[in-house]
Amino acid sequence: MCGILAVLGVGDVSLAKRSRIIELSRRLRHRGPDWSGIHSFEDCYLAHQRLAIVDPTSGDQPLYNEDKTVVVTVNGEIYNHEELKAKLKSHQFQTGSDCEVIAHLYEEYGEEFVDMLDGMFSFVLLDTRDKSFIAARDAIGICPLYMGWGLDGSVWFSSEMKALSDDCERFISFPPGHLYSSKTGGLRRWYNPPWFSESIPSAPYDPLLIRESFEKAVIKRLMTDVPFGVLLSGGLDSSLVASVVSRYLAETKVARQWGNKLHTFCIGLKGSPDLKAAKEVADYLGTVHHELHFTVQEGIDALEEVIYHIETYDVTTIRASTPMFLMSRKIKSLGVKMVLSGEGSDEIFGGYLYFHKAPNKKELHEETCRKIKALHLYDCLRANKATSAWGLEARVPFLDKNFINVAMDLDPECKMIRRDLGRIEKWVLRNAFDDEKKPYLPKHILYRQKEQFSDGVGYSWIDGLKDHANAHVSDSMMTNASFVYPENTPTTKEAYYYRTVFEKFYPKNAARLTVPGGPSVACSTAKAVEWDTAWSKLLDPSGRAALGVHDAAYEEEKAPASADPVFRPPAHGESILVETGVPAAAV
């Protein structure tokens, strides 16, 4: 992941202003430690901090068209750049960078080219011929982008809030799937898939189409000129990513460059559910597996640094970001610069445990749509910033544009959790990869119950965080919380503690408004809390808050925290059933 900073229309064009912009750009150097670049044209500045993944030798940024009248600074990867270059035969490319194609597409098609890009990206493009500029962010918001306004009339764009928060009077999180044009002076949505309207789709379930679409999404993300690996928690999503990579790695260019032995990485407290499951998957796939450990105290010690980097006070995001942040540091120390990860599947397929209580297919589908639309504020933000803090790039194949279209076009009836039919959460995905002849995964991993990352690294992690917060936040502080923090008032001591740390780094009102709020249980939206009246009494983002669903639910902790869900291997042709302790009538 790279870091971009663009400042356009500044009132001061002195050397001091240029130095200030370079200084602010350095705040993003953790994202791109390999090289720095800046282009200035009159009162416009485009700066870049590069993490070299594709074409490390010649792809430094900013990038240009042939006569350098079009300048672009980009964070991201364009997976279909070779296909797009083939459409631009009259253009001369100066580098092997996948991102250079953006400058030439603009020359050829004007502002309406963004939907042609297949990848994850945020970019700012300056046309020096008329001093117009555009900025855009990928469909789901995998790559972060912020937009701000200075008192001098300048417009700012940055990969992270920390590079513009001090110099902008107001700033926002740039919405995913949108483009800003200086010619019109406003934002418009360029990403308009059928599912965005939340109308109920009706396509029949085709397991082979699901499987093939996902395999294509994974394979295209093996575009790299540097060593890479897979983040493997041992859950369904990351295990499928690792399995597909293992199956096709030998056929790719990257295998000829770095070998066909896949490296996988997992982190957890000793004895945690994820470590055990990940090792089993790694052994099954034959990967070079790296099991990393951390202690509750090490996680607590890192909290302030984590919040500074991920730029949020959302509880579940911080819980999950901390082990990911620690793991990323160790991965980078091993010489790996890119990893594939499993984010997005739960939002697309209704994989969170609270989906057990979805009353009907309409509400399930609408909730998955809401969850995907909000990913840039939660899991995408975590996966990107927790890894980028150490100059590591995370790619997320479940959020491939085509794969999302295929999965969200399904009749949501097939995503409903139906114990009477042997369907647990994400059954449509599990079944698509349930291949008897050439198995992708062992059966009990393929049908393992959902664990949120912050739970799976070890249940005592969240309990330790709560104890730490209780020691630092008094009852009187909570009593006055609504006066101290009138926006998104923290309702728990843990949330209050995170908020105080966040405000220390980002004290402006604009900063706190970039973070979403509202009640949640087991990562639900506020709307889905209405599905079960009992949930309103235990509003916690942990999967264990899904009372009566999670095997280690808060009120039902009878077994050791590391106990696995019970799995009974099925006879051939028999439906799969994971015993979750949920009465059939409750689901």
Sorted by where each starts, the structural domains of the chain and their CATH numbers stand as: 3-192 (3.60.20.10), 195-526 (3.40.50.620)
CA distances from 547 to 140, 357, 371, 544 (A): 30, 11, 21, 7
Does 462 count as an annotated binding residue?
no
Q: What percent of the chain is modeled with pLDDT above 90? A: 80
524 assigned to a ligand binding site: no
Partnered with residue 173 across adjacent β-strands are 146
CA atoms of 389 and 578, how far apart (whole Å): 38
> What pLDDT shows up at residue 183?
95
Nearest to 6 by CA among 62, 46, 61, 37: 46
Residue 11 or 578, more confident:
11
Tokens of 181: 């044009």
Any binding-site annotation on 435? no
Looking at residue 89, what is its pLDDT? 93
Reported as a single tens digit per residue, the pLDDT across 170-205 is 999 999 999 999 999 999 999 999 999 999 999 999
Q: Which residues are catalytic?
A: 2
Please give the structure tokens belonging to residue 90. Answer: 């009259």
Residue closest to 295 by CA, chosen among 275, 274, 267:
267
- pLDDT given at position 542: 57
Region 311-326 average pLDDT: 96
Average pLDDT (38-54) is 95
Burial class, 430, CB count within 10 angstroms (exposed 0-12 / middle 13-18 / buried 19+): buried
Q: What is the pLDDT of residues 544-584, one digit of tens each?
A: 555 556 555 544 444 433 333 333 333 333 333 332 333 33
d(CA 240, CA 286): 14
How far, in Å, CA of 384 to CA of 394, rounded?
Answer: 6
C-beta separation of 109 from 70 below 8 A: no
275 is known to lie in a ligand binding site? no
Find out whether 341 is annotated in a ligand binding site: yes
Residue 404: count of CB within 10 angstroms of its CB: 21
pLDDT in tens, 277-296: 999 999 999 999 999 999 99
